[in-house]
Amino acid sequence: MLDIKPSVDIYEVEIEAITPISVGGGEETVYESYEYFINQDEGRIYFITLEDLVNLYNLGFIKEEELEYEYSKLIEKIFKLPEAKKHLKSVKIAGEVDNRLKLYKFARIKEFSLEKQIVGEKPVIFGSTLKGILRTGYLAQRVKSCKYDFYRKNNKLILKKAVINKKEVFNNEVYKQLFNISDYDVSLNIGDSAGGENWVTLEEFSEKTKRALTSDDILTAIFRSIVCSDLSLEAGELMVEKVIKFNRRSKKFKEKMEGIPLYFEMAQPKAKFIGQIKYKNDTGNYDKQLSIISIQNRNLDKEYTFLNPVEECFSGLKKMSRYVIEAERRILQDSFLGDQVRDFYKMLKEENEKEGQCVFKVGYSGILGKTLMSFDEDKVKNNNLYLPYTINVTEKTKLPIGWVKIAYNISSNEEY
């Protein structure tokens, strides 16, 4: 096997909440009613899971025979012990809370303490979520024109087809359809008889191995080479907030969905999540036969100069946010918020244009940050049926949830 250490570009990434954000992860996105207890006097919600009960038992707050108690009686005992409550996960409540509600979870990872023999949790934005955001930016960077053909059914927007860069595209194929292999210099190290390096072009690789690598292979290799860590909450706090919907047609707020108010665990403005993105410049594996692949940007488009595909992703996020900001502003422009809306979107535009950062929408924040529909400028400006009829806002501020600032800085270019 070739003894080759791949070169790696490392980016330090910080995601800071501008408005409250809620980012899920995994299959369990909603708390069951028995998993939390509301203490209106303290203004907090306490969470109790089976793991929490085991933790309290290991810490000596619960006796073995008490684990046989009726659940409500056991919980009542726990809440009479101030020291026990300190070991439960809890978050502040922003305002009064309805008795019957739907409460969405913020993503967390579990942490085990060997010393105390307890399991804890830490709020995170998963690396897979960050990678999904980067993929959106990568796609947006390639959009030169966009036309959505749609209709509405029961007030829901139904996409008939999308024409991007004058080509009809399909959801599961859009990355492949917009990808252009000529944007990159691709070479592979097939090694030599002495175990040294032997870099060849794609054409030479095909001739020597009788195996051709396709555009799909290269696109797959690019995203395999982008590795995102989980981003941990390093500053700020989570609170439970009520989320309501503003309807741009009726200009009214809807406080319940199917008769149930919606609450979210939300990282508050100024909360910061920190992690890393690594781009492996020259590593890959095809058909279990080791082939070290190098994919470098050619920068044929003189408007942009990219060090690597990660910077394409960041550039695309900045580009897409310009369109999302304008589209969302139009949804809220006729609300009673007036100057507050104008100032908010002015601030987003200014933050988005600063070097080394962009703004974007994450989590449970609506369709605009998850599709390319805001790129269809003509429909955004002139078709009243096109933009979403409703938008999620907090009950407290009436501003849209999910806006973050993503700051990034390349910290090193090293070899493993």
Residue 114: per-residue pLDDT:
62
Q: Please tell me the distance from the alpha carbon of residue 78 to that of residue 85, in angstroms, as a whole number.
A: 7
Mean of pLDDT values over 221-232: 93
pTM for this predicted structure:
0.87
Q: Please tell me the distance from the alpha carbon of residue 122 to that of residue 103, in angstroms, as a whole number.
A: 18
Report DSSP state, residue 285.
E
350 has which bridge partners? none
Q: What is the mean pLDDT of the chain?
A: 86
Q: How many CB atoms are located within 10 Å of the residue 328 CB?
A: 27
Long-range contacts of 206-212 (CB under 8 A, 24+ apart): 211/286, 211/287
Residue 250 CB contacts under 8 Å (≥ 6 apart), including other chains: none
Report DSSP state, residue 211.
-
User: What pLDDT, in 10s, does the model give residues 353-378?
Assistant: 999 999 999 999 889 999 999 999 99
Q: Are 310 and 134 contacting, i.e. CB atoms less than 8 angstroms apart?
A: yes
User: What pLDDT, in 10s, does the model give residues 306-349?
Assistant: 878 999 999 999 999 999 999 999 998 877 677 888 999 999 99
User: What pLDDT, in 10s, does the model give residues 261-270?
Assistant: 899 999 999 9
Q: Please tell me the distance from the alpha carbon of residue 400 to that of residue 389, in angstroms, as a whole number.
A: 14
Residue 212: per-residue pLDDT:
83
Mean of pLDDT values over 276-293: 64
* Better-predicted residue by pLDDT, 213 or 403: 403
Q: Please tell me the distance from the alpha carbon of residue 38 to that of residue 45, in angstroms, as a whole number.
A: 5
Weakest-pLDDT range from 65-79, 106-120, 158-172, 368-382: 106-120
Q: Please tell me the distance from the alpha carbon of residue 6 to that of residue 4, in angstroms, as a whole number.
A: 6
**Any idea where the domains of the chain sit in the sequence?**
7-24+127-415
E-strand spans in 18-78? 36-39, 44-47
Mean of pLDDT values over 209-238: 91
pLDDT of 283 over the 70 cut: no
